[in-house]
Structure 1
Amino acid sequence: MKILTFSTLFPNAEKPGHGIFVETRLRHLVASGQVEARVVAPVAWFPSSHPRFGSYAKQARVPRHETRHGLQVAHPRYPVLPKVGMNLAPLLLAQAVKPAIARLIDEGYDFDLIDAHYFYPDGVAAAMLARHFNKPLVITARGSDITLLPQYPLPRRMIRWAARRADAVITVCNALRDEVVALGVDADRVTSLRNGVDLELFQPVERAADATFTLLTVGHLVPVKAQELIIGALPLLPGVRLVVAGDGPNRGMLENLARELKVDGRVSFLGAVPQAQLREHYGRADALVLASSREGWANVLLESMACGTPVVASRVYGTPEVVAAPEAGVLMAERSPRGVADAVNALRAAYPDRAATRRYAEGFSWDDTSTGQLRIFDAILTRTQPQRARIFAHTSL
């Protein structure tokens, strides 16, 4: 079958880690040999690539077309309007992308199905595009698109509209599935297919002997990730060191907090780390800590476990489905510096065998996810293709 993957969450030459979980799932699906895929990953328009514009300049430098891991990716531009943009985003996105999709079809890639990721604005725009091009649609919910955005009245109505018009909805954990069903979507059309982990990329590494217990946290330095709770726990964890992998607007605040608490000598900020280099950091750490207030399915948890490193994590949404055995790690009783410290101490008191942690992660390969996607796609095309053929024949007369 031929599919068109559509999402603003997709890596590009300027931001290779952006939405990498969407690319990874697609790569494994294509590797099954049963799917051919093209990607349309729109990028917000910006007029200048001059370095003084920082991240906006990088956005402008994203190529219009590129090939990543054998996948052909188009990056059409779409307008983003300040202040009013949130409500208009789906329509602006759909209108901007229509020509790029029409061109794909004209060039011979008449795909069977749209595979959209993230419900707002992407999934809503995809529902508009599916109706325009008369194609089946599957939307994958991934986290804040369902746990946060439906709190706003208009996005909530549009998300419900898109979900009801999709032929199927996929969620990355059971907790998100419950949230989608609570929006009024028929439970029979919502399937939970968890993310897997790349077991070839993430493997145990040789560890040097080190008496210092080292924590690692990986992720964007933004409020939802709450790295300040981990730094705040360090005064309660004498002698424990923290390595912070990631960058973002909260970095200055986090550095100041470490100085204020007089733990800056025990905190190292690495900045953004390419995914291919994360294995070494996971492998050298004694525990990964994730204190997020929201997570759909946090890939960093399985990446760490695949390297043999257990985790300490907040008990939010899909995380208890990932950390579901003693060899995986420990869930915090509360999201606070004390909660982080208590969970770290609990892990140290009953530290799992690192080989057992790796074996636990091996139960989360991408094979089951790809099989589940193929089953959903096949069922949709079996049901809809004869009907769409009749519509096409009628409109051609």
Structure 2
Amino acid sequence: MLRVLTLSTLFPDATRPNFGVFVERQTLGLAAHPDVELQLVAPVGLPPWPLTRHAHYADLAKLPDRETWKGLDTHRPRFTTLPGTGGRFHTGALTRRLIPLLERIRRAFAFDVIDAEFFFPDGPAAIALGRHFGVPVSIKARGADIHHWGHAPATAPQVLAAGRAASGVLAVSQAMRADMAALGIPADTIRVHHTGVDLDRFAPRDRAAAKAAYEVTGPLIVSLGALIPRKGHDIVVGALAALPDATLLIAGEGPERAALTAQIAKLGLGGRVRLLGSVPHADLSALLGAADVMALASSSEGLANAWVEALACGTPIVVTDAGGAGEVVNDPACGRIVQRTAEGFAAGIAELLADPPAPDAVRRGAERFTWDANTAALYDHLTGLARP
């Protein structure tokens, strides 16, 4: 029996049900493996008082220290994050908080391996914990944990040191593997570990009926992701000005809402662009199944789950050449990779609307991304580290 201690600051909770749902799904799959016992540590970073009086932090502070989350024995220790320090002290604070907790856990659960599911601050902390407890450590890179924290002056040395010290390293795509190697993490230690998609829930449906639920009759474009500059929703909004018959629905929440609202008004698109806010992950299959095209203008990605979920619904995608885009859009039926401009997105979307690929041909692009394959590969990887 393989005993796994999974560590992830990127994990859902009662206040953030969409936060890291792909990490949750992967962890649930591994925990269900007949030869695995798993405990989850999902730390919550909080600033010092009185900043915790802010409504967002106050809700996080009220989370239980330990609970059963969808069948997982889950610990949610708090650690201190200091605003204005660029994350420089996150690793130390997290490590100090986790050592006594893991000592208590280890009395009843002698974990064989630490599985860190985000590269920062989880990865450097996991390395320190692995040394303390004498167990191997795996770290998985997903996107911003490398593209941001791996380049930020205050944290880049910590990311690189952790990647070099880990017993094994995972990347969500070949492109992410190359980005990690470019930082100085040895390429021969990095294994590509693709995400999965629920092919039963994310599946083609009657598109006209699905559109009716959103009161849309013409071409429908959907964009998914937090309302932050990196996701490039403003670029897709700009593209809509050249697509006069189309409607755009944007699912996500974040600090760019006001700027996007102003842009929509300035372009006179108020009747054709809607900001839906945060949409529960359970409802995304209906939204993606209604769309003629899913468009995401990210400046960086690892391998976006939204890409694969759209394809599984039979919906082609228009995306930038970010991260593993070329590994997903490997057939014209899957969509188009375009320049990160409004003109590029307008042209790519228009091309797919004029000559839409068959939904079953689109879906084939997602069929290799299964959670069963994800679980099997992760079990093989962690077993190899724990029992070389």
TM-score, structure 2 normalization:
0.94
CA distance in 1, matches of 2:46, 2:290: 40
Match of 1:38 in 2: 39
Stretch deviating more after TM superposition (23-32 or 307-316): 23-32
Q: Provide the residue aligned with 2:142 in structure 1.
A: 142
The range that moved more, 33-42 or 354-363, is 354-363
Amino acid paired to 1:232: G
Q: Is the 8 A contact 2:86 2:154 kept in 1?
A: no
Matched-pair contact (CA < 8 Å) for 1:46–1:60? no
1:96 to 1:145, Cα distance in 2 relative to 1, 3 A: same
Larger displacement relative to structure 2 (360-369 or 206-215): 206-215
Match of 1:169 in 2: 169
Q: Is the 8 A contact 1:49 1:59 kept in 2?
A: no
The offset of 1:120, in angstroms, is: 1.6
1:247-274 C-alpha deviation (Å, 9 max, x unpaired): 1110111011000000111011111011
Show the 5 A alignment for 1:312-331.
312-331=318-337
Matches within 5 A, 1:147-296: 147-208=147-208, 211-296=217-302
Can you give the 5+ residue segments of structure 1 that lack an aligned partner in the other structure? 384-397
1:322-345 CA distance string (max 9 Å, x none):
12112211111x101101101101
Change (3 A) 1:94 1:15: same
CA RMSD after TM alignment: 1.9
Cα distance in 2 between the residues matched to 1:94 and 1:51: 21
Gaps of at least 5 residues in structure 2 are 210-215
Contact 1:8 1:43 in 2 (8 A): yes
The aligned counterpart of 1:368 is: 373
Q: Residue 120 of structure 1: SS of its match in structure 2?
A: coil
User: Does the 8 Å CA contact 1:49/1:58 hold for their aligned counterparts?
Assistant: no
Report how far residue 10 of structure 1 moved.
0.7
Question: Which of these residues, 339, 349, 356, is aligned with residue 351 of structure 1?
Answer: 356
Identify if the C-alpha distance between structure 1 residues 112 and 42 changes in structure 2 by more than 3 Å, giving closer, same or farther. same
How many residue pairs get aligned? The number is 381
Other structure's SS at 1:205 match = coil
CA offset at residue 183 of structure 1?
2.5
Tell me the CA shift for residue 348 of structure 1: 1.8
- Counterparts of 1:70-85 in structure 2, within 5 Å, are 70-84=71-85
Asked if structure 2 preserves the Cα contact closer than 8 Å seen for 1:305 and 1:328, the reply is yes
- Give, in whole Å, the separation in 1 of the partners of 2:35 and 2:316: 35
Query: Which residue of structure 1 aligns with residue 314 of structure 2?
Result: 308
Q: Report the Cα offset of residue 50 of structure 1.
A: 11
CA distance in 2, matches of 1:201, 1:49: 43
Deviations 1:113-163 (A, max 9, x none): 000022121111111111111111000011122223232334222112111
Structure 2: which amino acid aligns with 1:277? Answer: D
Q: Compute the displacement of 1:234 (Å).
A: 1.2
The percentage of aligned residue pairs carrying the same residue is 39
Aligned to 1:393: none
Per the alignment, residue 20 of structure 2 pairs with: 19
Q: Quote the offset at 1:239 in angstroms.
A: 1.2
Tell me if structure 1 keeps the 8 A contact 2:42–2:76. Answer: yes
Cα deviation for residue 201 of structure 1 reads 2.4
Shift in CA distance, 382/129, structure 1 to aligned 2, threshold 3 Å: same
Deviations along 1:260-307, whole A, 9 cap, x unmatched? 000111011111011001111111111111100011010011111111
The answer for the alignment partner of 2:212 in structure 1 is none
TM-score normalized by the length of structure 1: 0.92
Partner Cα distance (1:223, 1:305) in 2: 24
Query: Structure 1 CA distance, aligned partners of 2:234 and 2:324?
Result: 22
Counterparts of 2:40 and 2:47, CA distance in 1: 21
Q: Could you tell me whether the CA contact under 8 Å between 2:220 and 2:247 is conserved in 1?
A: yes
Measure, in 2, the Cα distance between the counterparts of 1:302 and 1:71: 26
Question: What is the CA–CA distance in structure 2 between the aligned matches of 1:61 and 1:288, rounded to whole Å?
Answer: 37
CA distance in 1 between counterparts of 2:340 and 2:259 reads 19
Supply the distance in 2 between the matched residues of 1:261 and 1:169 (Cα, whole angstroms). Answer: 46
- The one-letter code matched in structure 2 to 1:335 is R
Q: Is the 8 A contact 1:49 1:60 kept in 2?
A: no
